[in-house]
Chains A and B, each alone.
Chain A
Amino acid sequence: MEQDSVRIFIMGKGYEVPKSLTIMKAMEHAGYRFVRGCGCRGGFCGACGTVYRMPDDYRLMVGLACQTVVEDGMYLTQIPVFPANKATYDVEKLRPGLSDMVKLYPELTRCLGCNTCTKACPQDLDVMNYMAAAMRGDIAKAADMSFDCLMCGLCAARCPAETVQYNIAILARRIYARHVAPRAKHLASRVDEVSDGAFDQALDEVTKLTRAELETLYNERDIEPE
C-alpha cells in the first residue's frame, strides 16, 4: 500500500484511496458514481449521511460523506434516505406549547433520554436536549437549539424510541417563527404600502430611464454607513 493512501471498505468491498479525501471523494475515486447519497457536496443538504465503524472498535460512528475524511480501516455504508414519519399540519392554526406537538407526534413522549441521537448528529447538535425542550413545550428553546439541523436523518435512524427528531425540530421552528417571535412591524407596513401601489409610479418611472440617466442616479445614490 502506498504511504499516502488508506484502505477503506465500501459496503464490504476494499479499496485503496488517497488519505486526504472525504468519504464522498474517496467513493468517487474508487469508481462510484452517485445517484443517491450526494447532494450539495458542501455540508448543507443532509443527503450523504454515512454510518461507519473503525477496526477494533464496536461502536457505530456517523458523519456526512462530503465532510468526513477517510481513515485507514474505515468500514462504511450510506443511509441516503430514511423512511421517517412526517405529520402534516396547517402552521397557521398551530399554537405554541406542548399540546400541538404531542398531538402531531405522540411518540415524542417515548424518548428514553439515552442520548444516542446527540452522539449521532454530524452537526454536533445537542439533539436530546432540544427534544427535552420540545417535551416541556419550550418551543423557543427547541427551535433555537435545533436551528443548524440539516435533516440528514441519522438521529432518527439510531433512535430506540423511534422518534423523528428532525421533523419534530422543524415543527418547533415553524411554530416559533410563526407564533412566538414578534412580527416585523416595518415589514407589515411596507407590505401595506406595496399592496396599495405606493411605489408603482416611482418604479414605472425608473424603468423608463435611459442608461445614462440610470447611471447618474446610481453613482450619486447615498450609501448607508456600515
Chain B
Amino acid sequence: MSYTPKMNELIQVVEASRQRRYAERHARLSPEEKQQLLEAFHPDYRPDTMRPIKVGVSKGSVMPHELVDVLESRSRLDPDRFSSGKIDYDVDVLVIGGGGAGSSAALMAHEAGANVLLVTKLRLGDANTMMAQGGIQAADKANDSPVLHYLDVMGGGGFANKPELVEALVHDAPLVIKWLEDLGCMFDKEQDGTMVTQHGGGTCRKRMHAARDYSGAEIMRTLRDEVRNREIPVLEFSPAVELLSDGEGTCTGAVLMNLETEEFFVVRAKTIVVSTGGFGRLHIDDFPTTNHYGATADGLVMAYRLGGRLVFLDATQFHPTGAAYPEQIVGLLITEKVRGLGAQLVNVYGEQFVYPLETRDAVSSAIIRECLEREKGIVTETGQHGVWLDSPMIEHIHGEGTILRSLPAMYRQYERFGIDMRKTPIIVFPTLHYQNGGVDIKNDTSVTTVDNLFVAGETSGGVHGRNRLMGNSLLDVVVFGRRAGVAAAEKARHVSPGILSLAHVKRYHKELEDSGLAKDKPSPMLLPSYARHQHVPGADPAV
C-alpha cells in the first residue's frame, strides 16, 4: 500500500520544513477568530445539514437529518398486538447497553444489592469505550483542582453545558480514577506510582491519564472482567427495541430482540438505565465515522418515544484527525495524543495553519478551510481531502522510541499498510466522532421528564454542552454510569413493579400519522447496512 510517488514528493516538503517548525509555535485563535472559523466551516453551522423535528416532546428542535429520520419512524412493534402476558425476565434494575457506562452502572447497582440484568446489542464491551485511545481526565495533581477542570469543560462546551452535570463530572473524576486503580486498571505511572498525565485540547493542566494508547480498551476490559467476576447476568446480541411504560410516563421495562432468532422478550424492571451510546453510524452529513458498528442512536429513539427530552443534538463532534489515507482506514481515529505529543498539522507547503491543540471543533474547521477554501491540502486518488499530521516530529522532540512506547496501537494501524509513522507524516481529515447532545438528565442521571428511567454516557446530553473535550468521554461514561447504577438501585428499593404497556408508542404513532410521517422503515435501526446494494446511510431498516 504505502504512499504514491506523488505523495512521497509532497512528504519531502514536510521534511524540509521540520527543523524550522520545531522552533515555531503557531498562534492560538482569539475568541473572535475562533467564532468566525466555526461559523464559516463547521458542519453544525451549515443550514443544509439539519431540520426541525415535527413530533414528540422536543418538537421544533433542530437536529441532523439522519437523526430526525430515525426519530420520525415507527416502532418495530405493533402496540395493538403487544401483550405483556408473559414476562421473560423480572428484575430490579435493567441496564440496556454493555459499554463503559452500562458496565459501570451494572457493577454499582449490583454492589448496592439490586437484582441486575444487563442486555446489549452485540458483545459485552462492544462499544466506543473500547476504542477510546487518548485518555481520561481527572484533576488529581497538586497544581490542579476540580474547579479548573470545570472551567475547561465549560469553555470547551461553549459555556452552554448544564452546570450541575459538569459539577458532577469534575467532582467524581478523582474518585473514578481511584475506583479503576483499585479494580486493577493499568494506568501509565512513574516509578513511584505518580500518574503520567498530559495535556489534551482545551486543558489548562496536564490531567490526561492514559493506559498507553489503549486507554478505553484497558478500562473496558477491566470493567467487563469485573462484571463477569461478579456473575451479573448478561444477555448479548439482545438489543432493546422499545421501552415499556405504565402509560403515564413511568418506565417499567423493555422489549428485547434476539438478533439471531428475531424472537422478542419482555423484561419487567423497577428501574431502567439506558446507556446505548451515540449516533456515529448514522453517518451525519455523510461523514465517515470513528464509531463502532452498533452506534445507531437506539437509546435516543426509545427514550424519545417515551417522552425523554432531547438537548444539544444540533451539536455534533467531528474529530479533527480521522485517517484520510489509506482507503482501508478512512475515518478511523488518529488519537489527539499524537498532537499532544507534539505532531503539528501542516499543509502541502510545509506550513502550520492552526495551533494543534485548539478545541476539536476549531481544529476541524481549520482543516476543512485549509483543504476546501485555501486548497492547500492533499487530495488522494479516491478524492479524499486531507492535510499532513507530522508524526515524526514526536520523535524529533521526545527522542527515538517514543512512538512505539506511547502510541503502539497507532503505529500498528499504519504499519499494517506499509506506512511507518515514525519516519513519514500521515494524512488526516475530520471524521464524525461524538454525539455531544442527548437525553436531558439530572445529576443523578434520572431523565428530567420520565420516571424510573436513567440515562448515562453518550446517550445523555448536557454534560459537554456543544463540544466535548478529549478525555472527558471516558470520564463521562464511568462517572455517570456509576451514578446511574447507584440511583437506579436506590430508586428500585421504593418502587413496585408497574404494568407493562406500549400506550406511549401508540400515541407516538398517532402523532406521526397526524403529521403525515408514517414511514415504512422502523427504528431503532440496530445495525447499519454496508452490504453491497443496500448502502443507504441512515435510511435502512435493520435485520
Using a CB–CB cutoff of 8 Å, the interface residues on chain A facing chain B are: 20-22, 25, 28-36, 38-45, 47, 67, 69, 81, 86, 88-92, 123-124, 143, 147-148, 150-151, 170, 173-178, 181-188, 190-191, 194-195, 199-200, 202-204, 206-208, 211, 214-215, 217-219, 221-224, 226
Q: Are B170 and A184 in contact (CB under 8 A)?
A: no
CB-defined interface of B194-207 with A at 8 Å, one 1/0 digit per residue?
Answer: 11000100001110
Q: How far is the CA of A221 from the CA of B139 in the complex (A)?
A: 15
Q: Which of B321-338 contact A (CB under 8 A)?
A: 326-329, 332-333
Taking a contact as CB atoms under 8 Å apart, the answer to whether A224 and B205 are in contact is yes
A173/B204 contact (C-beta < 8 A), A33-B531, A36-B237, A214-B151 known: no
Does B507 have its Cβ within 8 Å of any Cβ on chain A? no
Residues of B39-91 at the interface with A, using a CB-CB cut-off of 8 Å, are: none
> Which chain B positions have C-beta within 8 A of A38?
293
Inter-subunit contact B186/A194 (CB<8 Å):
no
Contacts of B189 in A (CB 8 A): 181-182, 184
Neighbour of B140 across the interface among A67, A173, A190, A222, CB < 8 A: A190
Contact A31 B408 (CB under 8 A): no
Contact of A203 among B170, B290, B293, B329 (CB under 8 A): B170
A44 touches B532 (CB 8 A): no
A207 in contact with B151 (CB, 8 Å)? no
Q: Which residue of A lies closest to B179 (CB)?
A: A191
Tell me the complex Cα distance, A27–B333, Å. 23
- B130 near A44 (CB under 8 angstroms)? yes
Shortest CB-to-CB span from A1 to chain B, Å, is 17
22 contacts between A and B (CB under 8 A): A22-B328, A28-B530, A29-B532, A40-B293, A69-B1, A88-B229, A148-B412, A170-B221, A170-B225, A174-B183, A175-B184, A177-B184, A177-B185, A184-B187, A185-B193, A206-B147, A206-B151, A211-B159, A214-B159, A218-B152, A221-B148, A224-B206
Q: Which residues of chain B are near A186, meaning CB under 8 Å?
A: 140-142, 194-195
Q: Say whether B171 contacts A203, CB under 8 Å.
A: yes
Further contacts, 6 of them, CB under 8 A, given A45-B125, A184-B187, A184-B193: A35-B260, A40-B292, A42-B131, A184-B140, A184-B194, A200-B171
* B327 proximity list for chain A (CB < 8 A): 20
Q: 1/0 per residue B129-155: CB within 8 Å of A?
A: 011000000011111011110111011
Say whether A202 contacts B225, CB under 8 Å.
no
Chain B residues within 8 Å of A, Cβ to Cβ: 1, 31, 122-123, 125-126, 128, 130-131, 139-143, 145-148, 150-152, 154-155, 159, 163-164, 166-167, 170-171, 174-175, 177-178, 181-187, 189, 191-195, 199, 204-206, 211-212, 214, 216-218, 221-222, 225-226, 228-231, 237, 259-260, 290, 292-293, 326-329, 332-333, 408-409, 412-413, 416-417, 527, 529-534, 543
Q: Which residue of the partner chain B has the closest CB to A92?
A: B182
> How far apart are A178's CB and chain B's nearest CB, in angstroms?
4
